[in-house]
Structure 1
């Protein structure tokens, strides 16, 4: 069967939507699609559910524009998981189709479609949304949305205490005028609040690291530590402990402190600095991460009281 998602290429919102349409046609009984909100430039923010089970997990990518390879990875996962379900393959001696009768994985591949478009084509234009006539020099390193707000500093977890020396729109690190001021972050926040997700994975790049702790304690800290160690073994990535006073504002910071369930920020690829991860790393990234969703789904089934 011809593969739909071709990972080793530039991947923007238009290409992703084309692939989503084809995946939904091929796997209509396995995948479900919805739009959870709209970006500044009114691109739909897509979410795809794999499976039909009551236990829910969320995974998402491309909060940061230059980190669009996380979208490719997640789209590749969607296709592979659907194929595994259809062909009744097994994971750790468990039938995958039966696993996804009990668990659903919601995947939001591209939280920041406008930013990805700008990084790849410069057709999306931050100049229209903020006053900065030198913005194009930051195109390769761009993390923010097209209003110059870093979406992963937008969530209401210690937002007031984030270091905000920038205090204006920029290619990276500006937290915005208020929590959830940006439609992309608000869309993901609202979608998450409307569900009862057991675990969350936020894909970023780069560094081959997993952030998992933030300010957790007690039973949540214990459960998160168990899962983090298992994910570290699965991916080969190092676990990162936060500083004494972590800055907050990230999706997983908020999920841990408000939803009070384990959440993991997974940084794919060797560290490459402030730019997109080169496609030459993709095969390696895939091998390290392809089982993450299956592992969490099986863990949710095996630990019903976790």
Structure 2
């Protein structure tokens, strides 16, 4: 019992010291200075100092350092002393309401923003009257004046961006710490590297520590480097970034889930009352079509924000008459199967059994072997040929709309009044437009296909007169009486994904397709 009482007494004695430890630091005075009895120029003078001296201070009060002077509290004006930063104390805290921070450009310090009170940073070293904070190849200069040493922990900066993206601010914007307390401002026309998203906030590294930004304070240039294999995960992240950057003219909506429960997303750009629809990757191996659709989102959104012209189209004017909805990946499980193999999915073993091989380059179906472009109800029961059981392609399923992916598309279309639908596929540089339209509709749709042919260089295929179809575009034509076009990118490459070497030409051929469709639909 006595030991417990002694321990408690000891803790009571040391706890105040522990609590104050981070607020104690050394200051060095000028050659002449005054110690006053209060934080006021009118208070009594306790000492007229005639040589520089070092004191331990317990904090700042109204511009005065507080010190212990011969057993009583004394005050030294901050203009008469400066903080001493010991080499081993590499962290510092801002104690003024705000102080500037700079970078060196052509031998001159250029202000990049301000740090606010309570901001805590880690310095690399000091130089003259500045802390130097090195972040990569950049060195930031922060005045010693207005800062104090601190033992407060710095947030770990080891987190790396899985999908690096650069953002830009056009005006001065706030920077927050992890607790969403503002710690700084960033001057106009700077760039930051986005690390991650947290709801409407972006995670960045600011002067060597993790920080937060308001996403809609920023814009992007090129979020996607499209000449690569684009995964579902990166695609989804990019859509979320665009949606949080531009909530005023975009909308991100989950329209359903795949067989494996993977969310399927649609994104709208523009505020037009009329709408058109484009999708990609209905067939798994044709995943370069996702790149086409996502690059449209990337490109059109920044031109909308900038009120600029792209490909001869005033993007904002065009999309505020007719908005574009994009479904970048209709078959996420199938795409993942082709890109990452069967071990990446719960039903991978089933797909391997269906395929008869672990090489899925030829795979078009969803994860359970249903060809989604044979699963729509446009004379589905009259489809002839194809496989009679689950296969890598051309199995129409046990019934029309048996698959959650085709159901999601059907339900989404029925909620809207789309003027046009483009279903992107590969390969062959051809397009299909016909599904027994009436004469006026047939004339309209063929004219649209011919204009798209001029735009892309792709060949318009003659009517097929199939007895039945399960294609999404054919169902769309039948359901809405509006144009539905299947557009096959790339020269024919056979039963494999389109090689990345084809990308540059594909984008040149298709970069204006969405804007043309929006403009054309505005006239109907």
| Cα contact 1:57–1:106 (8 A) shared by 2 | yes
Question: 1:184 maps to what in 2?
Answer: 405
Residues 68-126 of structure 1: CA deviation (Å, up to 9, x unaligned):
10001100000111111111123676532122222111100000000000000011254
| Cα contact 1:125–1:146 (8 A) shared by 2 | no
| Cα contact 2:364–2:392 (8 A) shared by 1 | yes
Is 1:72 aligned with 2:258? no
Q: Which deviates more, 11-20 or 289-298?
A: 11-20
The runs of at least 4 aligned residues of structure 1 exceeding 4 Å deviation read 91-94, 125-131
Q: How far 1:129 moved relative to its partner?
A: 4.6
Q: Structure 1's 138 and 156: CA in aligned 2 closer, same or farther, altered over 3 A?
A: farther
Matches within 5 A, 1:107-122: 107-122=326-341
Q: How far 1:210 moved relative to its partner?
A: 0.8
Q: Separation in 2 of the partners of 1:116 and 1:300? A: 31
Q: Structure 1's 2 and 84: CA in aligned 2 closer, same or farther, altered over 3 A?
A: closer
Q: How far 1:127 moved relative to its partner?
A: 4.5
Question: 2:490 maps to what in 1?
Answer: 269
Is 1:60 aligned with 2:279? yes
Q: Which deviates more, 91-100 or 276-285?
A: 91-100
Q: Structure 1's 283 and 113: CA in aligned 2 closer, same or farther, altered over 3 A?
A: same
Question: 1:297 maps to what in 2?
Answer: 518
| Cα contact 1:126–1:148 (8 A) shared by 2 | no
Q: Separation in 2 of the partners of 1:117 and 1:92? A: 33
Q: Separation in 2 of the partners of 1:93 and 1:272? A: 31
Residues 260-304 of structure 1: CA deviation (Å, up to 9, x unaligned):
101110000000000100011111000100101100111122x23
Q: How far 1:256 moved relative to its partner?
A: 1.2
| Cα contact 1:127–1:135 (8 A) shared by 2 | no
**TM-score, structure 2 normalization:** 0.56
Q: Separation in 2 of the partners of 1:210 and 1:68? A: 17
Q: How far 1:246 moved relative to its partner?
A: 5.2
Q: 1:157 aligns with which of 373, 378, 385?
A: 378
Q: Structure 1's 138 and 92: CA in aligned 2 closer, same or farther, altered over 3 A?
A: closer
Question: 1:34 maps to what in 2?
Answer: 253
Q: Separation in 2 of the partners of 1:126 and 1:241? A: 39
Q: Separation in 1 of the partners of 2:313 and 2:228? A: 33
Is 1:254 aligned with 2:475? yes
Is 1:12 aligned with 2:231? yes
Bigger helix fraction: 1
Is 1:232 aligned with 2:434? no
| Cα contact 1:115–1:124 (8 A) shared by 2 | no
| Cα contact 1:205–1:269 (8 A) shared by 2 | yes
RMSD: 1.7
Question: 2:267 maps to what in 1?
Answer: 48
| Cα contact 1:236–1:288 (8 A) shared by 2 | yes
Q: How far 1:138 moved relative to its partner?
A: 4.7
Bigger strand fraction: 2
